[in-house]
Amino acid sequence: MSPAARIQAFYDTDTSTVTHVVSDPETQRAAVIDSVLDYDPKSGRTSKTSADRVITHVRAAGLQVDWHLETHAHADHLSAAPYLQRELGGRIAIGAHIRQVQTAFQRIFNAADMDTEGRDFDQLFDDGAQFTIGRLQARVMHTPGHTPACLTYVIGDDAFVGDTLFMPDYGSARCDFPGGDARTLFRSIQAVLALPPATRLHLCHDYPPASRGPTWVTTVAEQRAHNVHVHDGVSEDEFVALRQARDKTLGMPTLLLPAIQINARAGHFPPPEANGVSYLKIPLNLL
């Protein structure tokens, strides 16, 4: 049986993203899940304030990072995994279906340099893959729907669910990005909700209402009882109808176009042009 993980979370207020540092208290081996590289869309400047908070914590706690785990190719923030890897070591991993995501966006951005075989990542995980963080046993669940490549990482009684579920009062993730599918997400959520009821679910985002502050840990039992989109008793067809209706009302995330071009390259910038500057593309009238 896997011992209990130690978990430190960092909430980025700009993108409402939660980065988790998961470590084995005995060996001090660690994984960083869903890191954030700060990005100002007005100036095109990146900065490392959020990532440096993680580095400060890792060094102060004496942790050795083995993994930079992405739950999926995010559309709302840039990944800091390559920067953290340079500073801390470790391997960058994502779901094997990232190839599908890369293929879709290589076409959309007409980005000849974008690899579609996942080679920018150090490790691609299939459904059911297992790996270790020190003595912690981690198991990979492929939980597509929000994107085709979404993963949930199960480590003992803790599951890092990415963008499948949000807090019970907010519901579930949108399914209208390329390759997203509400019916698929419902089935993935059912697989997550089939974990033991006391399993702690750690979210990738929280969008709190005015009545509460940001929070990102809930349980299978709480979700089954209270999730506004998928509590027990909601049928697949009911969920699909609700999800599709809601997705029609949602605008494009502010950082989708920059984020996906970076994150489909495992957080690396596009190759610099002759003047040494990396550029992002904006497809006009395509999306």
Positions touching Fe ion (CB under 5 A) are 74, 163
Q: Which is nearer to Fe ion, 74 or 142 (CB)?
A: 74
Strands 91-95 and 123-125: parallel
Smallest separation (angstroms) from Fe ion to the CB of 251: 15
What's the CA gap between 248 and 176, in Å, rounded? 8
CB 196 within 8 A of CB 157: yes
Cβ burial of 43 (10 Å; 0-12, 13-18, 19+) is exposed
Q: Which is nearer to Fe ion, 13 or 285 (CB)?
A: 13
Q: Are 35 and 26 in contact (CB under 8 A)?
A: no
Q: Which is nearer to Fe ion, 29 or 205 (CB)?
A: 205
| Residue closer to Fe ion (CB basis): 75 or 84 | 75
Residue 232, classified by CB atoms within 10 Å of its CB into exposed (0-12), middle (13-18) or buried (19+), is exposed
Q: Which is nearer to Fe ion, 70 or 120 (CB)?
A: 70
Q: How far apart are CA 68 and CA 143, in angstroms?
A: 18
Q: Report how far residue 256's alpha carbon sits from residue 280's, in angstroms, rounded to the nearest whole number.
A: 12
The distance in angstroms from the start CA to the end CA of the chain is 47
Provide, rounded to whole angstroms, the least separation between the CB of residue 75 and Fe ion.
5
Least Cβ distance, residue 37 to Fe ion (angstroms): 15
Distance in Å, CB of 76 to Fe ion, minimum: 6
Rounded least distance, CB 93 to Fe ion, Å: 17
134 or 148, CB closer to Fe ion? 148
DSSP 8-state class, residue 78 = B
Residue 248 C-beta: closest distance to Fe ion, Å:
18
